[in-house]
Amino acid sequence: MKICLLGDSLLAGFEGKSEPIINDMLHRKLVTSYTLDNVAVSGNNTYDVLERLEKDVIAKQPDLVIIMLGANDAAIHKLVDIADYRMNMLEIVERLKESKVVLVSCPAVEQQKQVNKRNNALLSKYAKVVEEIAVQNNLIYIDFFYETLHHQNHKELMKGVLDDGLHMGELGYELLSDLLIQKIGL
């Protein structure tokens, strides 16, 4: 099985590993035979992904594409209007119709460290769009926003190398990898 991870720095982050930390965790936890191609690019929003979707994903013909986008679309300093975000996500899903697609909402941020950058009220609206698209298209959906927001150790989940309230640490990636394996059935 060919698995592709598509997103921004939240999926591209290394956290001190020799490869993106989500790859490292999935490699350690998955027992099925698979290849993992992480094409996440730090700073990307849905417009950026649409520009590179053909070359980075579709041309590789993955069996499964895991998408987590929205943290940069919902960033106050480079905000993508939620209607445009919805349209972009719908186009991404439509263009990936030959693959099984899993949609994952972005994590809730630690707001004290993301002042004037991102906030959970806005991120929750983008997460709702992801959920609606998943339901509309009969896709697997992981509400990672909810899982992180209501986690008893939310601040610890969000404490990564950057410690900026957005980028997760090892505990956050443990939760994400466990949810991916559980919900997708890998």
Phi and psi at 159, nearest 5°, equal: -95, 90
Helix, strand, coil content of the chain in percent (nearest 5):
50, 10, 40
Q: Model confidence over 12-60: pLDDT tens digits?
A: 999 999 999 999 999 999 877 899 999 999 999 999 999 999 999 999 9
> Which pLDDT belongs to residue 60?
97
pLDDT of residue 104: 98
Q: SS3 of 143, please?
A: coil
pLDDT of 133 reads: 98
Q: How far apart, in whole angstroms, are the C-alpha atoms of residue 127 and residue 145?
A: 7
15 φ/ψ sector (left φ>0, alpha ψ -120 to 50, else beta): left
Write out the two tokens for 148.
């992180």
Q: Domains in the chain, please, with CATH?
A: 2-184 (3.40.50.1110)
pLDDT in the model for residue 185:
85
Provide the mean pLDDT of the chain: 96
pLDDT of 149: 98
